[in-house]
Structure 1
Amino acid sequence: YWVEGASEGANSALNTYLTCINASDRDLEYFINELRNIGRPVVLVFFGDHQPSAATTLNDELYPQEDTASHAFRVYQSTYFVWANYEIAGNTELNVYDTVGANEIAAITLNKIGAPLTDYQKALLATRSDVPTINVAGYLGADGLRYDLESEDSPYTSTIDKLQCMQYLEFASKVQ
């Protein structure tokens, strides 16, 4: 593959990555086929929390004048999937695309399969109408704008502050 506007080095890194991901895809297919016959219910959640370094280089080369939040969000954007070897009651979703942060995937998945949720996971689900996704780069508001986590002029600052407090308290409760 060759991306117009990107350097030879960035294109070379991209092609190396694509070669490796092709092998990973074959391994993942094998793994899922093994899970199909494991004899007990299994839910597989597969995601990455950031783009590979080749994508970061391409992002920097192709979008040099972009605002900081949008630029950072692209680096932490990743495709994910959730797969089960059994039919989940009341859940007929196939090929649903949604914008979520890595910290929200667990809450969404556990909720879909009817598993217990922590108070923090419940809060993440309850606030998704205002803040659909949060990641290390910031968050996306219901208004479609991206905000830095430290943003004081966001209409969602109160929601983010409350989520951060809950996250800290949940973490601190586990530290002895």
Structure 2
Amino acid sequence: MSAYRKFGFNRFYYLGSKYKIIDQKKIGYNPYLSDETAYDNALHQLRNDENGTFINLVTMQNHLPYNSSYYKRSSSWLPTSVSAGTDKSTVAAYTAGINYTDKAVKQFIKQINKIQKPITVVFYGDHLPGIYNNSMAKDGTKLHETDYFIYSNTYAREHGARTLTSNTKVVSPNDFMAMVAEQTNSKVTPYLALMTKIYEDLPAVSINTGQNNSTASLQFTNSKGQVVKYSQLTKKQKRLWQDYKLVQYDLTAGKQYLYQLHMMK
């Protein structure tokens, strides 16, 4: 909760909080609230908040563990082939949950398209589940990739939003703010202008946790999914990355000179 407060969120909804989670639903024997519940609560906020709203929605339906008894007919999702040591029933349970998510997302998009105000959704996962016995050294990049999409509802598209079609294949979560601003044709702050340059001119940036999360290192990945070494970046790209690191340090651990300069204008 303290982390959300520091980021500027004024309300934090969770089971047991003073803010009520409405229309609580679970699927089968899954102990977590469903994604449908999460989306219904988001819709409630979007419909009732008169001013602009930023919602960071973290769902639990597809979180570990993945029990084969959670869903009826999850065995229909059994994979035909898996890596040695990977449990097929666990993969099937996870896939069954994803199928429920697909259906809930479809209904969520239908509902936001009925709302007469601009809404843009960034949908992504933070990582694949640790249920595959693949080699992290060999398949680490793929095991950290997840699907994402950025969707603007009908009203937003009627008022200037457009779907991004370039430089979207491999991106970092750090790029999402700049991508949303570009998709919605929004005015940007100097910081967001820098993030736009990062998004446009640098490969996707992530932290590679290494084998068994024992080590962590910076990783650049290009649009083809290939790892790019820092030494392979151009001089311009290295300078841009250095500028980004200086700004991040100043805003988080430094004396916030840039913030003070911004407030003086």
Q: Same fold (TM over 0.5)?
A: yes
Residue aligning to 2:182 = 111
Can you list the C-alpha shifts for 1:16-47, whole angstroms capped at 9, x where unaligned? Answer: 11011111111112221221112221111111
Residue 45 (str. 1) matches residue 126 (str. 2):
no
The alignment's TM-score, normalised by the length of structure 2, stands at 0.51
Aligned pair in 2 of structure 1 residues 59, 120: CA closer, same or farther (>3 Å)? farther
Residue 146 (str. 1) matches residue 221 (str. 2):
no
Can you list the C-alpha shifts for 1:32-73, whole angstroms capped at 9, x where unaligned? Answer: 12211122211111111211223xx2433xxx662xxxx332
Residue aligning to 1:159 = 240
Residue aligning to 1:29 = 106
Letter matched to residue 123 of structure 2: F
Considering Cα pairs closer than 8 Å and 6+ residues apart, tell me whether 1 or 2 has the greater RCO.
1
Can you list the C-alpha shifts for 1:82-116, whole angstroms capped at 9, x where unaligned? Answer: 11123152735579852110110121111221223
Aligned partners of 2:223 and 2:145: how far apart in 1? 18
- Alignment RMSD (CA, Å): 3.2
Asked if 2 retains the 8 angstrom alpha-carbon contact of 1:104 and 1:124, the reply is yes
Residue aligning to 1:133 = 204
- Between 1:136-145 and 1:31-40, the stretch displaced more is 136-145
The alignment's TM-score, normalised by the length of structure 1, stands at 0.72
Letter matched to residue 114 of structure 1: N
Residue aligning to 2:212 = none
Q: Displacement of 1:81 after TM fit?
A: 0.9
- Any idea what SS the aligned residue of 1:59 has? coil
Aligned partners of 1:112 and 1:92: how far apart in 2? 6
Residue aligning to 1:10 = 87
Give the 5 Å matches for 1:40-119.
40-54=117-131, 57-60=132-135, 66=138, 71-85=139-153, 86=155, 87=157, 89=160, 91=162, 93=164, 97-119=168-190
Aligned partners of 2:80 and 2:249: how far apart in 1? 42
Asked if 2 retains the 8 angstrom alpha-carbon contact of 1:120 and 1:163, the reply is no
Q: Displacement of 1:4 after TM fit?
A: 2.9
Work out the number of aligned pairs and report it. 162
Aligned partners of 1:38 and 1:47: how far apart in 2? 22
Aligned pair in 2 of structure 1 residues 31, 95: CA closer, same or farther (>3 Å)? farther
* Alignment gaps of 5+ in structure 1: none
Larger helix percent = 1
Asked if 1 retains the 8 angstrom alpha-carbon contact of 2:82 and 2:88, the reply is no
Letter matched to residue 103 of structure 1: N
- Between 1:125-134 and 1:85-94, the stretch displaced more is 85-94
What is the aligned-residue identity percentage? 20
Bigger radius of gyration: 2
Aligned partners of 1:78 and 1:105: how far apart in 2? 14
Asked if 1 retains the 8 angstrom alpha-carbon contact of 2:169 and 2:223, the reply is no
Aligned partners of 1:75 and 1:158: how far apart in 2? 30
